[in-house]
Amino acid sequence: MVNSTPVEVSLNECVDLSKVPLGALNYKTYELLSALLNRKKIFKSEDGYYRDWRGLFQVLKLDNYLVAELENHNNPTKRVLDLWENSLKGANLKDLQNVLGLIDRWDVLDDSNKLFYDDAEKFLSKTAKQVSTDQLEETSIGADEDIITKDDTRQNKQFYDAFILFADADIEFATKIMERMEERKLKICIKDRDLLAGITFEHEAIIKLISERCRRLVVVISREFLKSPLNNFFVMYAQALQIEQKKRKIIPCVYERLELPANLKFYFILDYKRSNKLYNFWDKLEDAIKVRTDSPVTEIKNQSKAIETVSIPKITVEDANESSADKVDRTQTKPEQLTTGTSHSVSQPIKKSLSSWDVSNALNRVLTSKSKNASSSTSELPTGAENSDQELKKVKWYSKLGLSSSKSSLDGTGEKSEKKKTKWYKTSKKIATAM
């Protein structure tokens, strides 16, 4: 049967000694090795190596002129190990154990094994702490480099809608821009208020703000501004950024009359003194700073959906000869509705005021069509009885509509009525001739 008894393995023996240099050995470990190897042995190993410090010298193949020095040294084992560490980079504890086995000093291996692993564990833990400390310092240094405004933290870097670039003489107007824009819920960065004190290079911090933290650069152009080479450099840098990123970056503003430089003449300039009913400086500046997220087409569609439903009324003219039953059927019929979008509102008919002339023409058309259908011959003219019936129907319709029933409007003695009757007679004669 196979022995299933578990083998005890200490945690420090799991350490890889090949990754631990000789310099990791403790002072006590060196003392133990020196006490066991400094005394010379008479018998050699099977491979012909001395079984003391001289065997280390032979295996490591150090220079022969060092033999005299080692003979006279009070601790030749420590000296050999130091020479090995200095001459051969990468010498580790695993290699030392292999050398001890090669010279047949297994007793030294057994006595020093625990000390080797203890020293290796201490060295690796110390190295790990040092690495974590170095990384923390590098991270903190990098984080401090990114903290350039009063709103920055190590976890969060503040971003702004715009950075205001101005000359020191224009501080009042720049402050006015900052206050007006912040009233409109925009995040503005201004050098004198937001930059932290103690920054080594102020221009580097401003460049980082323009390129990484601020969406727009509001430039207050004045005579004093154009005299500053640093301000001109910032403007040229922002122009190069907007060409590279293909984004609108610079928003030039002026509040005094001056000659613009060549690199700013092709921009649309916001003029503070141009404010009028059609041009509001603050509204234009707010719109220029804001980053539009929706499409203008979408906004137009949304506005069109909000338009109220428009209905087209239906105007009907009642017939005097229409029976009461026909009137009831017609009033029960639903009017046609015209709606826009998804609206389902019912259209209400609009009362339209009609002149007596419009009503007279409508009645003449209705009565003329009735008389044509009743006549057996299209060449015959209406008789006097028919004319009297038509006049009675006109009076009846005028009384229903609440209009004046003057004789000129009823019998058509007016000029326009005469022209209408004459046209009707000519039409009847033409029809008779054609038939």
For the chain, the average pLDDT equals 74
Q: Is residue 375 part of a domain?
A: no
The contacts of residue 407 (CB under 8 Å, 6+ apart) are 413
Instruction: Report the number of distinct structural domains present in the chain.
Output: 2
pTM of the model: 0.40
Q: Is residue 410 part of a domain?
A: no
Q: Is residue 118 part of a domain?
A: yes
Looking at 112, 130, 148, the residue that finishes a domain is 130
Provide the 10 A C-beta neighbour count for residue 389.
15
Same domain, 168 and 261: yes
Encode pLDDT of 334-375 as tens digits: 444 444 444 444 444 444 555 666 667 777 776 676 555 555
Looking at 261, 290, 319, the residue that finishes a domain is 290
Same domain, 108 and 210: no
Q: Is residue 435 part of a domain?
A: no
Same domain, 218 and 165: yes
Per cent of the chain over pLDDT 70 is 61
Encode pLDDT of 31-44 as tens digits: 888 888 888 888 88
Provide the domain limits for residue 178.
160-290
User: How far apart (Å, rounded) are the C-alpha atoms in residues 395 and 400?
Assistant: 9
**Tokens 């906004």 sit on residue:** 299
Closest of 100, 96, 199 to residue 149, by C-alpha: 199
Cα(first)–Cα(last) distance of the chain, in Å? 134
Same domain, 97 and 170: no
pLDDT at 251 over 90: yes
Structure tokens at 217: 């650069």
Same domain, 180 and 257: yes
The CATH number assigned to the domain holding 250 equals: 3.40.50.10140
Same domain, 110 and 186: no
Q: Is residue 315 part of a domain?
A: no
Same domain, 114 and 164: no
Comparing 270 with 137, the larger pLDDT belongs to: 270
Provide the 10 A C-beta neighbour count for residue 62.
17
pLDDT at 383 over 60: no
pLDDT at 226 over 70: yes
Looking at 269, 290, 311, the residue that finishes a domain is 290
pLDDT at 220 over 90: yes
Same domain, 25 and 108: yes
Same domain, 126 and 185: no
Same domain, 244 and 172: yes
pLDDT at 196 over 50: yes
The CATH number assigned to the domain holding 90 equals: 1.10.533.10
Q: Is residue 378 part of a domain?
A: no
Residue 365: the pLDDT is 76
pLDDT category at 385 given cuts 50, 70, 90 is: low
Q: Is residue 98 part of a domain?
A: yes
User: How far apart (Å, rounded) are the C-alpha atoms in residues 82 and 73?
Assistant: 13
pLDDT at 275 over 50: yes
pLDDT at 27 over 90: no
Q: Is residue 187 part of a domain?
A: yes
Same domain, 233 and 165: yes
